[in-house]
Structure 1
């Protein structure tokens, strides 16, 4: 992994202050390019929403707004409030996720958000009662737990028993009950099969199956039109740097063909993209505090662990990794270092689960150097066990690659 010069300069500037360095560095130009690209290549009717669960930092919300994202996909009232504070209007929000509370649904209806995505009959009745009480009608999508999955995906959200949505085989029982709720306006379907998908054909197969589902519903229920279809996200990121990343142009071309084949021109299609937009706009950077050999393998202990960067341990993957050499003097003769070795990186936590990387080849590293984990702009700090052992939170530094300035 190559570290941008501006990122390295920022790290050296902050390290010069003398305090142990432990931080995220954010630079959002890549995210802006992704969103601009999608606006150009996607077929008519496709609207890109930033799934802010990937990174709720204000810099990422600003990047989404300024680069033309249609809106924000939220999954809590806290996310909604952050999105509004960033300048998004309530009708630019779509609300997904299971377990929406009464208070959250009431806020959604009162503010008039674009769509609420129903996850169960209970949620539908709860939302209907709130909307009726407020004298409003709320546009909704019905989330379906489709009877298929994508086996090679990083995480699956359909197939088998899932907390997400209504099982596809129960649709004929559930949908008529939702259509009968007067304060809800059924607009279409939300079917999100998997996350972290690198093969375009797999996600296009998901689109094709969803289109077939929509056609069947329209054939079975007179006057019902699925005029909005939400495919979720799922665009994978090449964390292994294999050179075989997700191809958005191929996806756009394939989706355009499917829209034409099914005669779905003029409809609206939501994409909720988080990881793909945000991942390469952030680096987790943490100082190496100790290096020791343990039964034939070097253990590299850093200032931050899963309390600050949980994702590698949670998903059992290695992120791209580079070492910024700081040239610190050794504390004593015989102090251990790394030289052309495959090593383990962990943090300062009292648990064996505190893994940042394992079996990763390192050319050289010393105590005082900075380990930089790439593709950390998505599911970094906000996904982590921040309160575990009460360590100080890492800094979040926003820079521009134009001048390397940080704040």
Structure 2
């Protein structure tokens, strides 16, 4: 469910008409719903109750400070994968004890930053990282709390570019080697083992892979405890998918996911951490764009928009689907016609959809890409020297620009021409 609905024939974000935002900030722009963010966060907290738990929002899905501030005010923790994301979480007011640091390539500088600023735990991905973290912690006179990410060799049945739990993936240590790695971690002076971490991929649309992975984690917990390790937390990652189409086939609900967690690891007495990103932010955001031209080609019509692959790269990068809808609701019975929906970037890959059925469109019409809140603005670039587009947050009947569109002068001033030129 989201809060982007037609009202009196006009698509609204909560109680704000999208044409009103477009008239104020221009197009294209991202728009997020506070009510949807709130609802989706609470779905997870309710699903895990009464287990002790912390829902850590995956900042990599949507990193705007206003969004992080809102989720943090609800009690969310944050899952970060870089120094920049850590600093964003802190700037949004999230305390270090609610931040977990994931990622396969943490640098010593990033480790130092988090240890000095405060951190709940590091999710360690390899023995070299583990040793480096111990050295950094010792140099600061600190002890770093860690989980170790295990790779359970489970096929998440998702897109190959976002699968992370198979043996050929770069993430974590093989679960078969967990005992020896945990033994080394326990012997390192700068570390304190607090739990186990696992994450098998993103946009999972069935629960079976989670169940396979979590049952392996449950067995490993018992084994490691028998070896003398205090396994207090289980970081189960994120990855639960969202419906990108309005079909009847929907991914499992957070309630089903929570029931699975209780069934597989709930008996262990551990605090449960999960790291959802897409399911909290995905359907909480849309991308609004304007038709520049309708071009009649050889056997096809092109809808040329002012948004491009640099603004929303998922269709070009992953072949991903986003529902595209007119902001002005078509009259009942209006016939649809197929369009290739494209942007103005000089790449054939700058294509959002081919043969997409839409009502007849004309220059100046507004369209909205649904389910664009996750991995939309965060993956945007200034390719073709196109400015990053604004982000807008709606709450009830008012909205605010939470990231402004930079001017061309601001973009040009970032470059420096050497004196010898």
TM-score (norm 2): 0.86
Cα deviation, residue 96, structure 1 = 0.1
Aligned partner of 1:60 among 67, 76, 99 = 67
Question: Which residue in the other structure is 2:151 paired with?
Answer: 145
Kindly indicate whether the alpha-carbon contact (under 8 Å) linking 2:286 and 2:370 is maintained by their aligned counterparts in 1: yes
Question: Closer, same or farther in 2 for the Cα pair 1:257/1:394, shift >3 Å?
Answer: same
- Residue of structure 2 in register with 1:227 after alignment: 232
Q: State the SS of the aligned residue for 1:33.
A: helix
Q: For 1:211, what is the secondary structure of its paired residue?
A: helix
Aligned pair in 2 of structure 1 residues 3, 128: CA closer, same or farther (>3 Å)? farther
Whether 1:21 and 2:15 are equivalent positions in the alignment is: no
Q: Find the aligned partners of 2:26 and 2:37 in 1 and give their Cα distance.
A: 29
The residue aligned with 2:341 is 345
Instruction: Determine helix, strand or coil for the equivalent of 2:195.
Output: strand
Distance 1:182 1:363 in 2: 65
Equivalences for residues 6-405 of structure 1 within 5 A: 6-7=12-13, 10-16=17-23, 21-43=27-49, 44-69=51-76, 71-152=77-158, 155-219=162-226, 221=227, 223-243=228-248, 244-260=250-266, 263-265=267-269, 267-325=270-328, 340-384=336-380, 386-400=381-395, 402-405=396-399
Task: Call closer, same or farther: CA 1:388–1:339 in 2, change over 3 Å.
Answer: farther
Partner of 1:335: none
Taking the aligned partners of 1:392 and 1:194, their CA distance within structure 2 comes to 31
Distance 1:82 1:16, change over 3 A: closer
Verify the 8 A CA contact 1:10 1:404 in the aligned structure 2.
Answer: no
Cα RMSD between the aligned structures?
A: 2.3
Normalised to the residue count of structure 1, the TM-score between the two structures is 0.89
Rounded Cα–Cα distance in structure 2 between residues aligned with 1:47 and 1:218: 22
Q: Contact between 2:244 and 2:322, CA under 8 Å: does it hold in 1?
A: yes
> How much does 1:132 deviate?
0.6
1:118-157 CA distances to partner (integer Å, 9 max, x unpaired)? 1111111111111111111110010112222222467310
Tell me how far 1:46 sits from its aligned partner. Answer: 2.4
> What is the CA-CA distance between 1:326 and the residue it aligns to?
10
Q: For 1:299-333, what per-residue CA distance to the aligned partner results, in whole angstroms no more than 9, with x for missing partners?
A: 11111111111122222122121012499xxxxxx
The equivalent of 2:417 in structure 1 is: none
1:334 matched to which residue of 2? none
Residue range with higher mean Cα deviation, 197-206 or 177-186: 197-206
Unaligned runs of 5+ in 2: 402-421
Q: Is the 8 A contact 1:35 1:68 kept in 2?
A: no
What is the CA distance between 1:398 and its match in structure 2? 1.6
